[in-house]
Structures are given as C-alpha cells and as structure tokens.
Amino acid sequence: MRELPADFFRAPYAFYQELRSDGPVHQIRLRNGVRAWLVVDYDAAKAVLRHPDIHKDPHSATGARARQVGAGASGVTSANNRLSHHLLNADPPRHSRLRKLVTPAFAPARMDALAPRVAAIADELLDGIADATGPVDLLDAYAFPLPITVICELLGVPVEDRARFRAWSAAVADMSMSTPEGMRAATNAVVNYFDGLVALRRTNGLGDDLISQLLTVTDDGDRLSHDELISTAFLILVAGHETTVNLISNTVLALLTDPPRYRALHDDPTGIPALVEEMLRYNGPVNIATLRYSTAPIALGGTEIPAGELVLVALASANRDERHFADPTALDPDRASSHLAFGHGIHFCLGAGLARLEARIALTRLVARFPRLRLAVEDDDLRWRESILIRGLLDLPVDPAGAPAMR
C-alpha cells in the first residue's frame, strides 16, 4: 500500500515516475485515509477511462471500499444531493442521454464567437495590472477572473457573485479540501441560488445564455429535469473555476522560469497554441481524474482490481509516461499531441474548445502587453494547492515591469 509523499502537491512527477517503473496500477492510501487503486501509465489510463465495468455513478459503489467514499463524494459533488445529477456522475445510458442534451450548448461556432469578448476581458484585467505599483498576484488579478467572467457571462449568472461561487466551488467540488458540513452548507447555498436563477427565467423570459438554452433543449421530446439542469449548470461553473485558471497560470509559470522562451513568444506569438497544447500534457490542470468505481474484476497489466473498488486515474502521470512520450520531462511544443489532460472516452471534456480558446487569448495578450514580466518569488517558494484533483498554484506573484528578460 503506497501513500502520497510529503511533497506530492509541490512535485508529484518524481513519485509518479517511481510508481510507473513498478507497474501500471498501485494500491494507495490518501491523506484522508481513503484507499483506492491508482492508475499511473498511459495505456492503462486509457483502458480504464473507456472500460465498461468502470463506473462513474456513485450509486454503483457497492463494494466496501468504494462505499466508504461513494456515499460521501464523487469528486465533483456528493452522491446524494440535488447537484449530483450531472454528466460526471452518470454512466450509459443516462450519460448518453445527458450528453446529447448538453452538447449543443458547446457548439464550436458558439465558442469561437466568444473570442472578441474574451480578448476584451483580458485587456481590461491587464489594464488593472499595468496600474499596479509593485508585485501582483497574477492568479488573482488575471488567471482566475478571466475564465470566471467568461463562464458567468456564458451561463448568464451575475459576475458580481463570483467570490461566492469561488468559495462554493472549492467546498463542493473537492472532497480533499472540505469538511462534510462545509460541503453540505455550500451545496444548499448553490441549490438555492440556481433555483432562483431558473425561476427568474421562467417569469422574466429566456435570454441567449446557456441556462436558457439548457432550459429549452429537447431531443425527441426528452428534456433535462430541473435537478439535471441545475446540476449541469453547477458542473459547468465548477469546470470554469477550477481548470482553465490553472492552465493559464501553470503556463505563465513555465514561461517565467524560462525567460528566453517568454521573450521568443513576445516577439512571435504564433507558437502559443502549440505551447498551450504541450502545457496540457506537461503540467495540466487536472492531476487525478474524478472518482470511478469497479463493478467487476478488471485485469490491468498483470494486476487485478477486484469489483467494488475505488479507481483513480492519474492523468498527470499518464501524460509523462516514458513508454508513450519521448523525453516526457521536456517541455516541447513541437511534439505530436496525444495527451489525456481532457480525459478520454465518453466523459471527454465538453469545454476543451473553450479552455483552449481562453488560454491562447490570455497568453497572447499577456506576453504582448508585458514583455518584461518576471516571477516575484523564488521557484521553491511557490505554493501549490493541496488537491488530488487540481494541479495548480495558490498564488503567482509577479513583477509586471521586471528587469528585461535575459536572452
């Protein structure tokens, strides 16, 4: 039985490399005492993510170990509440039904049309940073408010409420970050909030926002139930809070620790899309994918996971698997991309297009505006979130008008 090492959240990759050299799947005890099977290599991760006997619905958690957690939390929301009726808690055929109803809201044309607004929000936030005297927390001033503002506008929820969402999202979404009481209180607050937003649309009429679209969507007469609607809206809000922010900040960090690369992108930003794609592999925002449960024995590279167990897929480890990626510890935007940062199979991220768009625009505007941006702390003093789900910083102190980047 393995345990996460003391410096896991700061530096998970050495631990993952050691595990991979010892096999594709390991039994692990998490800090909160929960025991699970951790899948660490690329091929095994892909196999688990599309395996018909690996389920997402916490009610499939019938085994003793899985029950430990299944009754409590599924990685995005707890199992038995009104926010749990979403895609990431569903298996076919319910998942197929929900996915069919929700997918049109993420139509690529709709996402692409957001580009000018994303750029305008970015520029407004960068104006604020330009006015600052002294170091700025780039996470708080840029990487966080940008995707949150976009997701609030897209959903049609008031941006002024974003501080509340941030607290709710952290409390509800990440079982390793909150107490059961905190989770319950936040869940009730979110349910009341979304009930109110939906009621407003029913009385005042629909807009062109995503909640309105989800309210009217139909497929052969089928529609989302009220609880499916608020669960989906909340899932989208959480995804907007917890992921893109870290894609932006993890990428900025990689650039600031390599000034010539930052300078090169300032001179020629055409390399930004390839860099974003490689960053998803190299240090993406999701460390370990959301919880899964085995419903039958699963053979994986010589190991058998019994039925009724909790299964965790370490995407961050699969994305550094030396059997799949040549020189995986190198940040190489020229490599062909086949990372698992957005998952794989039926739960592949619905917001991948939006996340890529936002990260590309955020970085393009930042490097153009601040050619001399630099880190305001030593690399070793950076603070990482203590979450097994999210790989991201707590803050990113920068000096916007730092010394000229060295060539």
Beta carbon nearer to ligand HEM, 147 or 328: 147
Size of the site for ligand HEM (CB under 6 A): 26
Site for ligand HEM in 310-329 (CB under 6 A): 315
Phi-psi region of 46 (alpha: psi -120 to 50; beta: other; left: phi over 0): alpha
- What's the N-to-C CA distance of the chain in angstroms? 47
Interface segment toward ligand HEM; rule CB under 6 A; list 115-123, 127-135, 179-187, 239-247? 239-247
Please report which residue ranges of 85-179 form alpha helices under DSSP H.
Answer: 94-102, 108-112, 115-131, 138, 145-155, 162-173
Any contact of residue 333 with ligand HEM (CB under 6 A)?
no
Question: Which one of residues 24, 156, 259, 284 is an interface residue with ligand HEM (CB under 6 A)?
Answer: 284
Any contact of residue 77 with ligand HEM (CB under 6 A)?
no
Question: Which one of residues 46, 85, 347, 385 is an interface residue with ligand HEM (CB under 6 A)?
Answer: 347
Q: Provide the 3-class DSSP secondary structure of residue 107.
A: coil
Residue 77 phi/psi, 5-degree rounding, is -150, 160
Site string for ligand HEM, 160-199 (x = CB under 6 A): ----------------------------------------
Interface segment toward ligand HEM; rule CB under 6 A; list 3-11, 39-47, 132-140, 347-355? 347-355
Taking the complex as a whole, how short is the minimal distance between the CB of residue 378 and ligand HEM, in angstroms?
27
Question: Which one of residues 343, 392, 397, 400 is an interface residue with ligand HEM (CB under 6 A)?
Answer: 343
Interface segment toward ligand HEM; rule CB under 6 A; list 181-189, 237-245, 293-301, 321-329? 237-245
Any contact of residue 155 with ligand HEM (CB under 6 A)?
no
Contacts of 58 (CB under 8 A, 6+ apart): 70, 71, 73, 74, 79, 80, 84, 89, 291, 293
Residue 353 phi/psi, 5-degree rounding, is -65, -45
Name the one residue in this structure whose structure tokens are 């907007």: 240
Alpha-carbon distance values, 159 to 145, 147, 172, 190, 352 (Å): 9, 11, 19, 15, 22
Q: Is the dihedral of CA 234, 316, 344, 311 positive or negative?
A: negative
Q: Are strands 25-29 and 35-39 parallel, antiparallel or unpaired?
A: antiparallel
Question: Which one of residues 355, 373, 375, 376 is an interface residue with ligand HEM (CB under 6 A)?
Answer: 355
Taking the complex as a whole, how short is the minimal distance between the CB of residue 239 and ligand HEM, in angstroms?
3
Alpha-carbon distance values, 256 to 23, 79, 405 (Å): 35, 41, 9
Any contact of residue 244 with ligand HEM (CB under 6 A)?
yes
Taking the complex as a whole, how short is the minimal distance between the CB of residue 353 and ligand HEM, in angstroms?
9
Residues interacting with ligand HEM, by CB under 6 A? 87-88, 99, 151, 235-236, 239-240, 243-244, 247, 284-286, 289-290, 315, 341-343, 347, 349-351, 354-355
